[in-house]
Amino acid sequence: MEMEILEGRALMRRIMESYSRDPKGWSFMVSPSPGSAFFDATVSGPDAAWMLKIDTLFKPSPIIIGSAAEALTSKPQEPFPYGYRELPPGLALQIMETEGGGPSLSARRQLLSVLKSEPVVPESGGSYAEGPLVLAAPSRLNLSESQREVDAKLASEMRRLLRIRYPAYG
């Protein structure tokens, strides 16, 4: 069976479909890709895992491609699982207002309360916080042979896309 590589909105839609079936127990880890200038990401939940290749983290709209992959053998244990959490309107503004160099104690407590809440499936018009995204060192993930194959195909496809979009790309 040939591996399906998705990009942009199609990729996001497929991951969100999987997330919407069960929003609990997800993780999202990003790390520099060993041996290339790209970034790798794994997004995994109870019944699905995705490997992503990102051209850069340093521009507003990076090129992101990905493919479904076998589940990670060991998911990192993080204090807060990845997901969307309901965010009270106005809390983001409260967090940005600083008292003595940081948000108020009340705003920090509310933010911690949001982080501790259960992940939900976002609905149009709602106010949500998304995360956390974990930025890790490249050696944090031990990939299986099939995951290494997916990673190699994604890297090759990313280089091809960059050459098409940016002819001066090596």
**Averaged pLDDT, 43-58:** 93
**Averaged pLDDT, 107-112:** 87
Question: According to the model, what pLDDT value does residue 105 have?
Answer: 83
Picking from 76, 88, 96, 83, the residue whose alpha carbon sits closest to that of residue 141 is: 76
Question: According to the model, what pLDDT value does residue 159 have?
Answer: 93
Question: According to the model, what pLDDT value does residue 75 have?
Answer: 59
**Averaged pLDDT, 124-142:** 84
Look up tokens 């940016």; give the residue: 166
Query: Domain-by-domain residue ranges, the chain?
Result: 1-82+132-170, 85-127
**Averaged pLDDT, 44-66:** 93
Full-model pTM:
0.85
pLDDT exceeds cutoff 90 at 148: no
Secondary structure percentages of the chain, helix, strand, coil, to 5? 35, 25, 40
Q: How far is CA 145 from the centre of its chain?
A: 22
Question: According to the model, what pLDDT value does residue 36 have?
Answer: 82
What is the per-residue pLDDT across 72-91, written as a single tens digit (0 to 9) for each? 665 556 778 999 999 998 88
How many whole angstroms separate alpha carbon 148 and alpha carbon 132? 25
Three-state secondary structure call for residue 114: helix
**How much is the mean pLDDT over the chain?**
88
Bridge partner residues of 40 (DSSP): 31, 53
